[in-house]
């Protein structure tokens, strides 16, 4: 559990945009929320970017593929870099998607190594990112994470045309994982 300076405590969070920008789900997720299959109240929602002056990002509802690309078991996004090359553009050839922030399984090895090193220092509580399977929560706990973050798990499985139903099933996974915590322990 992590406690913020304003008193808010959380164990589970969703990365920015995972449940839309208001944290209540994208339009295709709203029925899942209404039927209780996705429960936004279980998660703290995190902003990607906060600027002093309003700034237009790359995301356009009519063509989201311009800034979010699905890759195998994850995504690459460059939502906050309008008309500019992302500082992560060198990843373009390696992972595809136009350069940007990589999330999901392709990022796990790097993210989890960072969690291990940061938790080892013991200075600040660490949030374990890139949770894609239920067992990942236990791995993060053993590495020293005090909270857990869900991001790319919400996205449809790649490629979408092979598993179109995952646009509805994947957003349910974090809720299922949190609710499963009470029946099966991953914290050993």
* Mean pLDDT value across the chain: 83
Write out the DSSP string of 38-91.
S-GGGSEE--S---SS----S--TT-GGGTEEEETTEEEE-TT-TTS--TTGGG
* 129 in Cβ contact with 111 (< 8 Å): yes
* Model confidence, pTM: 0.81
Q: Is the pLDDT of residue 86 over 70?
A: no
- Write down the pLDDT at residue 172: 94
- Write down the pLDDT at residue 147: 96
Q: Is the pLDDT of residue 187 over 50?
A: no
CA 31 to chain centre: 20
């Amino acid at each position: 559990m992590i406690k913020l300076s304003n008193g808010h405590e959380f164990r589970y969070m969703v990365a920015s945009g995972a449940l839309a920008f208001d944290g209540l789900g994208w339009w295709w997720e709203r029925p899942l929320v209404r039927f209780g299959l996705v429960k936004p109240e279980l998660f703290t929602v995190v902003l990607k970017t906060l600027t002093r002056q309003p700034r237009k990002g790359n995301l356009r509802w009519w063509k989201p593929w311009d800034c979010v690309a699905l890759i195998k078991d994850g995504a690459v996004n460059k939502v906050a870099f309008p008309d500019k090359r992302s500082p992560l553009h060198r990843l373009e050839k390696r992972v595809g998607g136009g350069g940007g922030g990589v999330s999901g399984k392709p990022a796990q090895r790097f993210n989890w190594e960072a969690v291990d090193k940061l938790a080892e220092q013991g200075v600040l509580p660490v949030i374990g990112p890139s949770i894609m399977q239920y067992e990942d929560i236990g791995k993060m706990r053993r590495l020293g994470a005090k909270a857990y973050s869900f991001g790319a798990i919400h996205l449809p499985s790649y490629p979408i045309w092979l598993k179109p139903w995952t646009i509805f099933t994947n957003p349910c996974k974090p809720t299922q994982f949190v609710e499963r915590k009470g029946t099966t322990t991953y914290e050993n």
